[in-house]
């Protein structure tokens, strides 16, 4: 590979990092995607890892020019050996972003990035809603637990 080509590839990698393509896509996949989240490995050989497999798909573009964007994210956290992830973004079955571990193997900027930004905002809203619901469940569980203790000791309001 010529140094000129390598310089262009290095510049493209920097561009992807500055635009936070990986972070936005992972955030969207985890908060909006379908699949297994924090799935524990099974069997003796795989019980030492936690896997996340999420896929998010959407369509974007003007009517008549609809395009399909798919974000596929897989992350495996090993108890004793760190973690390894893959992230692939395709538009109409054409790979526009491909990263395995720390190695960015391909990035083609395009109009799909505006859709990724929109999806990222939707993911942030979904994450906030999930956090609010979790907090509400936590508060309800604490109230129920306190009520059970009061009932057990005959200290509820009815006594």
Could you list the mean pLDDT of each consecutive 10-residue stretch along the chain, which spans 159 residues?
91 96 90 71 54 79 77 82 86 94 94 90 80 82 88 78
The answer to whether position 159 is within a domain reads: no
The answer to whether position 125 is within a domain reads: yes
The pLDDT of residue 43 is 46
The pLDDT of residue 103 is 94
The pLDDT of residue 84 is 85
Number of structural domains the chain divides into: 1
pTM: 0.71
The answer to whether position 158 is within a domain reads: no
CB 30 within 8 A of CB 51: no
Strand-pair partners of 67: 60
Parent domain of 60: 3-152
The answer to whether position 157 is within a domain reads: no
80 φ, ψ (degrees, to nearest 5): -115, 0
């Amino acid at each position: 590979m010529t140094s000129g080509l390598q310089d262009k590839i290095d510049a493209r990698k920097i561009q992807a990092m500055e635009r936070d393509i990986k972070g936005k896509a992972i955030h969207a996949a985890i908060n909006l995607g379908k699949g297994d989240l924090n799935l524990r490995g099974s069997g003796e050989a795989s019980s030492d890892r936690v896997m996340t497999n999420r896929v998010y798909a959407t369509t974007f573009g003007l009517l008549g020019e609809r395009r399909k964007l798919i974000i596929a994210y897989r992350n495996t956290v090993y108890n004793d050996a760190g973690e390894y992830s893959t992230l692939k973004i395709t538009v109409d079955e054409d790979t526009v972003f491909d990263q395995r571990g720390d190695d960015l193997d391909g990035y083609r900027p395009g109009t799909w990035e505006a859709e990724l930004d929109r999806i990222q905002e939707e993911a942030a809203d979904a994450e906030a809603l999930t956090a609010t619901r979790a907090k509400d469940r936590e508060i309800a569980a604490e109230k129920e637990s306190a009520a059970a203790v009061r009932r057990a000791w005959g200290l509820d309001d009815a006594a």
